[in-house]
Amino acid sequence: MGLKSALSKPFAYFAVRAVEKWKYNAVEVQQEVLQKLLESAKNTAFGRDHKFSEIRTYDDFKRKVPVRDYEDLKPYVERVVKGEENVLWPGLPAYFAKTSGTTSGVKYIPISKESMPEHIKAARNALLTYIHETGKADFVNGKMIFLQGSPVLDTSYKVPTGRLSGITAHHVPQYLQKNRLPSYETNCIEDWEEKVDAIVKETINEDMRLISGIPPWVQMYFDRLSQRSDGKKIKDIFKNFSLFVYGGVNFEPYRAKMEESIGKKIDSIETYPASEGFIAYQDSQTEKGLLLLVNSGIFYEFIPSEEYFNENPTRISLKDVELGKNYAIILNTNAGLWGYSIGDTVKFVSKNPYKIIVSGRIKHYISAFGEHVIGEEVEHALLSVAKSEGVEITEFTVAPQVTDPEGGLPYHEWFVEFAKAPADMNAFRLKVDEALQKKNVYYFDLIEGKILQPLVIRSLKPDSFINYMKAEGKLGGQNKVPRLSNDRNIAESLKAYVVS
């Protein structure tokens, strides 16, 4: 056992003990967080506009602070971008995390000197919790790779601006720096394909033990490694590779192909970081769900997803959530986001402690016919059948086809890139359709009532999604393919990749 792994175990013990002080006392901790946030920001422009000094209870807060998305908050953010202080949070942000919005164009999400350490602490605690639970710490003695955006920051304004993953690269603890790859120079490469090739060159002969990133881009890295090593499995290239850390998307659609590329099953840790805050991480290899971080400078609110677009939706705090129900998650943060809807939906799988799964995006659904099919449902339908049939999925997305080109009933059109295709595509699609009917009663009624015909699968050529994302200028980094669209923008672009 190396020195680092030996020291990491007592360090992990104390970190877990600190977490346990709040994880079973979450509701009370959340009330304290809200009061601290309001007290800190009461003299900001936003705090004065919304009379923070008069707020005494959560009901007061709901009356004075409406739920907002980025467009609604944008007038305040633009004042900060121009250099005005004390607008959303005292002083100026430490950084702006620059993200690409689907409706707002570029978004500038503030990260404060108070919120930045919470990102680092959460990532650290995810690893320490794993070490404490499993006793496995050898990975800290080898090299670790974090596939992320460029750490180059735009300093032309008062507030340095960059991608979240690039910003966090500047805050990696010193004790991890020597173990960490790729090099700073390689990390700064903007072109994703060029960057992946450079990372492969830097790492292929190293003792890589922990690999972290968004699954489809890690898979791209694995494919390039295999190509450079005459088709070897990753386990034969990195003999001590033992831990995969991921976030941003559900790993399940990628698991089968990734494990086939690796050549064995390895442990994984799911995290839920966002530019707006680090929300949750997997704290157990045996229990389902991600531990909600209730003591990290974020006060959480929840709106039942089916009410989200109502004029006056139900809006609740942590104490009133129910298990198994989909909620849009709303954040109030120590970086100055208030009643902020990040667009994600979550579902609670435990209330002691509070644990969630990320179930989808509030705007990623299909309801062209009133069915309101969500990401969790399509993923379950496809993956459950694929697993039973020995089929492997590389990537997929779904869109409505309102007007059948052949004159038949409308349908859901699935664009699927297979790593291992089904032997009988028609039988496979009907099984997937049946699985979706079981998950969504409205979809079942539409099929049963002959309003919709069963779904149609379009098989795509290899690397179709990589080529599509490249054409859209969204290859690599934090970019992800939406599972669902209620329009046909993505579908029309993917038609060019359909296997004839």
Ordered by where they begin, the domains of the chain are 365-497 (3.30.300)
Q: Is the pLDDT of residue 2 over 90?
A: no
SS3 letters across 25-59: CHHHHHHHHHHHHHHHHCCCHHHHHCCHHHCCCHH
Q: Is the pLDDT of residue 100 over 70?
A: no
pLDDT tier, 102 (very low <50, low <70, confident <90, very high otherwise): very low
Q: Kindly report the CA angle at 69 between 67 and 71, in degrees rounded to 5?
A: 130
Burial label, 324 (beta-carbon count in 10 A; 0-12, 13-18, 19+): exposed
**In 3D, which of 411, 398, 394 has the Cα closest to residue 364?**
398
Residue with tokens 């971080």: 293
pLDDT at 284: 96
249 strand-pairing partners:
none
pLDDT at 105: 64
pLDDT at 355: 98
Report pTM: 0.84
- What average pLDDT does range 294-304 have in this prediction? 97
- Size of the chain in residues: 500
- What average pLDDT does range 72-100 have in this prediction? 94
Q: What would the pLDDT profile of 456-494 be if each residue is shown by its tens digit? A: 999 999 999 999 998 888 887 667 788 888 889 899 999
Q: Is the pLDDT of residue 101 over 70?
A: no
Q: What would the pLDDT profile of 265-284 be if each residue is shown by its tens digit? A: 999 999 999 999 999 999 99
Q: Is the pLDDT of residue 161 over 60?
A: yes
Residue with tokens 């295999």: 226
Q: Is the pLDDT of residue 256 over 80?
A: yes
88 vs 92: CA distance, rounded Å: 9
Q: What would the pLDDT profile of 200-235 be if each residue is shown by its tens digit? A: 999 999 999 999 998 888 998 999 999 999 999 999
- What average pLDDT does range 158-182 have in this prediction? 82
395 vs 406: CA distance, rounded Å: 27
480 vs 466: CA distance, rounded Å: 11
- What average pLDDT does range 396-404 have in this prediction? 90
Classify each residue of 207-241 as buried b or exposed e, where b means 16 or more C-beta atoms within 10 Å of its C-beta.
ebbbbbbbbbbbbbbbbbbbeeeeeebbeebbeeb
331 strand-pairing partners:
300, 340
Instruction: Return the percentage of the chain with pLDDT > 90, whole number.
Output: 70
481 vs 270: CA distance, rounded Å: 18
75 vs 77: CA distance, rounded Å: 6
pLDDT tier, 87 (very low <50, low <70, confident <90, very high otherwise): very high
pLDDT at 430: 96
Q: Is the pLDDT of residue 176 over 80?
A: no
Strands 326-333 and 298-304: antiparallel
- What average pLDDT does range 10-17 have in this prediction? 93
Lowest mean pLDDT, pick from 224-228, 322-326, 367-371: 367-371
Residue with tokens 């807060």: 61
- What average pLDDT does range 77-93 have in this prediction? 96
pLDDT at 103: 44
pLDDT tier, 497 (very low <50, low <70, confident <90, very high otherwise): very high
